[in-house]
Amino acid sequence: MPAPPQDAFAYALSSNQAWAGYKGHQNPDFFPKLASGQSPSILWLGCSDSRCPETTILGLQPGDVFTHRNIANIVSPTDINTSAVIEYAVAHLKVKHVVLCGHSACGGAAAALGDNRVGGVLDTWLTPLKALRNAHREELAAISDDKKRAVRIAELNVEAGVNVLMANAVIQDAIAERGLEVHGTLFDIGSGRIRDLGFGTGKGGLNGVSGLNGDAGDVVRGKHAMLVFRTDGAGMQAR
């Protein structure tokens, strides 16, 4: 008779204990350093989708990325929650990069492309995506593949969000005063890769995004390769 499945929350707590023990053994100063304060280089604005955990997909560590996520990574100028996160990250933490990231296979994008209501507050929240669908109806209708159509509206959503970010007074001041960079990107769940869409202040590519609390470099070693992070980019080296 198979054993009953373990409670997901109990497993998560157990996994946390193992993770904390491993990290503390690997680097005894890791948690004391985290507890002393934060100085992230990146503000990440992304989707709440469980498949898009920013620190993991960026290959970074706790303390490297300040984060705000919501359904379909919508950036609204009237959303005080998003605005508060942006103001704190940009004006107080002095992040160097603001990254807005959409993703493939987005449920919010699929809902916006459909004609059925989701129900409740979700329909209100997804109104900006519905408006994008209406504004680009001909272009989207010409895409026969449903997955590609969903990716396209996700790209349009990122572009619209970056336009809102570029109109934000706190971000405008930081761009003028200290060269803050704003990036619009898309995460492909099927490949694990992030693609720079070229929106914002960047000119394509996320090379040069420093995110290791100012460290010159960091190395994550595995059995067959090591992942090397530096301020000029990251790369995989075979062992």
DSSP track, 163-197: HHHHT-HHHHHHHHHH--EEEEEEEETTTTEEEEE
| CB distance 214 to 130 below 8 Å | no
- Give yes or no: 230 in active site: no
The distance of Cα 47 from the centroid of its chain, to the nearest Å, equals 7
Which residues lie below 8 Å from residue 36, measured CB to CB, with a gap of 6+? Answer: none
Catalytic choice (49, 52, 133, 152): 49
Using CA of residue 166, residue 136, residue 134, residue 101, what is the dihedral sign? negative
Catalytic choice (52, 64, 101, 106): 106
**Alpha helices (H) along 114-238:** 121-125, 127-135, 137-141, 146-166, 169-178
Catalytic choice (51, 69, 136, 230): 51
- Give yes or no: 106 in active site: yes
| CB distance 100 to 45 below 8 Å | yes
Would you state the structure tokens that stand for residue 120, as one six-digit string? 């409740």
Element (H, E) at 57: helix 54-57
Catalytic choice (47, 52, 64, 152): 47
Element (H, E) at 108: helix 107-113
- Give yes or no: 178 in active site: no
Catalytic choice (52, 68, 101, 103): 103
Task: Tell me the catalytic residues.
Answer: 47, 49, 51, 103, 106
